[in-house]
Protein backbone atom coordinates (compact mmCIF):
# COMPACT_ATOMS: atom_id res chain seq x y z
CA UNK A 1 0.00 0.00 0.00
CA UNK A 2 1.43 3.32 -0.99
CA UNK A 3 1.31 6.58 0.88
CA UNK A 4 -0.28 9.76 -0.45
CA UNK A 5 2.14 12.57 0.30
CA UNK A 6 1.90 16.35 0.22
CA UNK A 7 3.55 19.29 1.98
CA UNK A 8 1.90 18.30 5.29
CA UNK A 9 3.30 14.75 5.31
CA UNK A 10 1.50 11.60 4.22
CA UNK A 11 -1.57 9.41 4.64
CA UNK A 12 -1.35 5.66 4.25
CA UNK A 13 -3.64 2.67 4.78
CA UNK A 14 -1.70 0.17 6.90
CA UNK A 15 -4.17 -2.70 6.62
CA UNK A 16 -6.99 -3.57 4.22
CA UNK A 17 -9.04 -6.72 4.88
CA UNK A 18 -10.30 -6.79 1.27
CA UNK A 19 -6.76 -6.73 -0.12
CA UNK A 20 -5.72 -9.54 2.24
CA UNK A 21 -8.83 -11.57 1.37
CA UNK A 22 -7.88 -11.25 -2.31
CA UNK A 23 -4.73 -13.20 -1.46
CA UNK A 24 -6.68 -15.84 0.48
CA UNK A 25 -5.79 -14.35 3.86
CA UNK A 26 -9.00 -14.15 5.87
CA UNK A 27 -7.69 -12.93 9.20
CA UNK A 28 -9.22 -11.43 12.30
CA UNK A 29 -6.67 -9.43 14.26
CA UNK A 30 -7.30 -9.78 18.01
CA UNK A 31 -4.39 -7.82 19.48
CA UNK A 32 -2.00 -5.09 18.46
CA UNK A 33 1.30 -4.92 20.32
CA UNK A 34 3.96 -2.23 20.43
CA UNK A 35 7.49 -2.21 21.80
CA UNK A 36 10.08 0.52 22.21
CA UNK A 37 13.83 -0.12 22.12
CA UNK A 38 15.94 2.79 23.35
CA UNK A 39 19.30 1.59 22.02
CA UNK A 40 20.61 0.68 18.58
CA UNK A 41 21.74 -2.96 18.58
CA UNK A 42 18.89 -4.22 20.78
CA UNK A 43 17.91 -7.81 19.93
CA UNK A 44 14.47 -9.15 20.84
CA UNK A 45 13.47 -12.71 20.05
CA UNK A 46 13.25 -15.06 18.38
CA UNK A 47 9.77 -15.78 19.83
CA UNK A 48 6.81 -17.95 18.85
CA UNK A 49 3.59 -19.42 20.29
CA UNK A 50 2.96 -23.16 20.16
CA UNK A 51 -0.32 -24.43 18.68
CA UNK A 52 -3.16 -23.99 19.22
CA UNK A 53 -2.01 -20.50 20.26
CA UNK A 54 0.25 -19.90 17.23
CA UNK A 55 0.08 -16.37 15.85
CA UNK A 56 0.11 -14.73 12.46
CA UNK A 57 1.75 -11.29 12.69
CA UNK A 58 1.71 -8.15 10.60
CA UNK A 59 4.76 -6.10 11.64
CA UNK A 60 5.71 -2.48 10.92
CA UNK A 61 7.99 0.18 12.37
CA UNK A 62 6.55 3.46 13.63
CA UNK A 63 9.87 5.14 14.53
CA UNK A 64 13.49 4.22 13.83
CA UNK A 65 14.63 1.13 11.97
CA UNK A 66 15.40 -2.54 12.45
CA UNK A 67 16.20 -5.83 10.79
CA UNK A 68 13.10 -8.00 11.21
CA UNK A 69 13.54 -11.77 11.02
CA UNK A 70 11.15 -14.72 10.69
CA UNK A 71 12.39 -18.33 11.05
CA UNK A 72 10.30 -21.21 9.65
CA UNK A 73 9.54 -23.78 12.37
CA UNK A 74 6.64 -25.50 10.61
CA UNK A 75 6.66 -29.27 10.77
CA UNK A 76 7.30 -30.77 7.32
CA UNK A 77 8.02 -27.42 5.67
CA UNK A 78 10.59 -27.51 2.85
CA UNK A 79 12.04 -24.28 4.31
CA UNK A 80 12.16 -25.51 7.93
CA UNK A 81 14.98 -23.81 9.84
CA UNK A 82 15.52 -21.12 7.20
CA UNK A 83 15.00 -17.46 7.87
CA UNK A 84 13.78 -14.40 6.01
CA UNK A 85 15.12 -10.97 7.00
CA UNK A 86 13.73 -7.57 5.98
CA UNK A 87 14.76 -4.03 6.83
CA UNK A 88 11.75 -2.21 8.25
CA UNK A 89 11.85 1.48 9.07
CA UNK A 90 9.60 4.45 9.62
CA UNK A 91 11.12 5.83 6.43
CA UNK A 92 10.53 2.88 4.10
CA UNK A 93 7.04 2.16 5.57
CA UNK A 94 7.30 -1.55 4.70
CA UNK A 95 5.36 -4.25 6.57
CA UNK A 96 6.23 -7.90 7.10
CA UNK A 97 3.56 -10.60 7.18
CA UNK A 98 4.65 -13.56 9.33
CA UNK A 99 2.49 -16.72 9.14
CA UNK A 100 1.81 -19.07 12.03
CA UNK A 101 4.65 -21.46 12.73
CA UNK A 102 7.45 -18.91 12.45
CA UNK A 103 9.69 -17.56 15.19
CA UNK A 104 10.00 -13.76 15.09
CA UNK A 105 12.69 -11.40 16.27
CA UNK A 106 14.49 -8.21 15.39
CA UNK A 107 17.60 -6.11 15.89
CA UNK A 108 17.29 -2.34 16.04
CA UNK A 109 19.52 -0.42 13.63
CA UNK A 110 18.76 2.99 15.12
CA UNK A 111 18.06 4.27 18.64
CA UNK A 112 14.48 5.00 19.65
CA UNK A 113 12.85 2.31 17.54
CA UNK A 114 9.14 1.59 17.95
CA UNK A 115 7.65 -1.55 16.37
CA UNK A 116 3.94 -2.36 16.16
CA UNK A 117 2.41 -5.65 15.17
CA UNK A 118 -1.04 -7.11 14.84
CA UNK A 119 -1.64 -10.74 15.88
CA UNK A 120 -4.54 -13.05 15.10
CA UNK A 121 -4.59 -15.05 18.34
CA UNK A 122 -4.65 -14.27 22.04
CA UNK A 123 -1.29 -14.49 23.81
CA UNK A 124 -0.91 -17.54 26.07
CA UNK A 125 2.12 -17.55 28.38
CA UNK A 126 2.09 -21.36 28.69
CA UNK A 127 2.45 -21.67 24.88
CA UNK A 128 5.42 -19.31 24.65
CA UNK A 129 8.58 -20.58 22.98
CA UNK A 130 11.75 -19.23 21.52
CA UNK A 131 14.85 -19.86 19.45
CA UNK A 132 18.28 -18.44 20.28
CA UNK A 133 19.04 -15.30 18.26
CA UNK A 134 22.53 -16.45 17.21
CA UNK A 135 21.89 -20.12 16.40
CA UNK A 136 24.66 -20.99 13.89
CA UNK A 137 22.44 -23.48 11.99
CA UNK A 138 19.96 -20.69 11.21
CA UNK A 139 22.77 -18.31 10.25
CA UNK A 140 21.11 -14.92 10.59
CA UNK A 141 23.44 -12.06 9.63
CA UNK A 142 22.48 -9.57 12.32
CA UNK A 143 23.58 -5.94 11.82
CA UNK A 144 25.92 -6.08 14.82
CA UNK A 145 29.66 -5.57 15.20
CA UNK A 146 29.72 -8.35 17.80
CA UNK A 147 27.25 -8.83 20.65
CA UNK A 148 23.90 -7.05 21.04
CA UNK A 149 23.90 -3.73 22.90
CA UNK A 150 20.89 -5.03 24.79
CA UNK A 151 19.24 -8.46 25.03
CA UNK A 152 17.19 -9.96 27.86
CA UNK A 153 18.68 -12.80 29.88
CA UNK A 154 15.65 -14.88 28.87
CA UNK A 155 16.28 -14.34 25.13
CA UNK A 156 20.03 -14.97 25.46
CA UNK A 157 19.29 -18.38 27.04
CA UNK A 158 16.74 -19.64 24.48
CA UNK A 159 17.42 -23.09 22.98
CA UNK A 160 19.03 -23.85 19.63
CA UNK A 161 16.95 -25.06 16.69
CA UNK A 162 17.95 -28.71 17.20
CA UNK A 163 16.28 -28.66 20.64
CA UNK A 164 12.95 -27.28 19.39
CA UNK A 165 10.12 -29.53 18.28
CA UNK A 166 8.76 -28.47 14.85
CA UNK A 167 5.38 -26.73 15.05
CA UNK A 168 2.32 -28.54 13.68
CA UNK A 169 0.31 -25.47 12.67
CA UNK A 170 -1.75 -26.70 9.72
CA UNK A 171 -5.50 -26.36 10.08
CA UNK A 172 -5.78 -25.56 13.76
CA UNK A 173 -8.84 -23.60 14.71
CA UNK A 174 -8.49 -20.07 16.06
CA UNK A 175 -10.65 -19.35 19.11
CA UNK A 176 -13.51 -16.99 18.32
CA UNK A 177 -13.68 -17.61 14.56
- CATH code for position 64: 2.60.120.10
The DSSP string of the chain is -PPEEETTEEE-----HHHHHHTT------EEEEEEE-STTBEEEEEEE-TTS---EEEEEEESEEEEEEEE-BTT-TTTT-EEEEEEETTT--EEEE-TTEEEEEEESSSSEEEEEEESS---GGGEEE--TT-TTT----S-SSS-SB--HHHHTPPPGGGSPPB--TTPPPTT-
Residue 117 appears among annotated catalytic residues: yes
What mean pLDDT do residues 63-92 have?
96
In a domain, 147, yes or no: no
Q: Is the pLDDT of residue 105 over 80?
A: yes
Residue of 15, 47, 80, 84 marked active site: 47
In a domain, 91, yes or no: yes
Residue of 53, 83, 104, 117 marked active site: 117
pLDDT digits (tens, 9 = 90+) for 34-73: 999 999 999 999 999 999 999 999 999 999 999 999 999 9
Domain count within the chain: 1
In a domain, 148, yes or no: no
pLDDT band at 177 (very low <50, low <70, confident <90, very high): very low
pLDDT at 135: 97
In a domain, 139, yes or no: no
pLDDT digits (tens, 9 = 90+) for 116-175: 999 999 999 999 999 999 999 999 999 998 888 999 999 999 999 999 999 998 754 433
In a domain, 20, yes or no: no
Residue 15 appears among annotated catalytic residues: no
Is the pLDDT higher at 176 or at 3?
3
Task: Name the residue range of residue 117's domain.
Answer: 29-134
In a domain, 64, yes or no: yes
Amino acid sequence: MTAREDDRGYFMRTYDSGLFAGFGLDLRWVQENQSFSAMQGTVRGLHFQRPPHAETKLVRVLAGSLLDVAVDLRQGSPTYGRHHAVELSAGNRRCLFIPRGFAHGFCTTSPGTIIAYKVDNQYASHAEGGLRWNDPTVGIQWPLASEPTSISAKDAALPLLQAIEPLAVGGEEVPGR
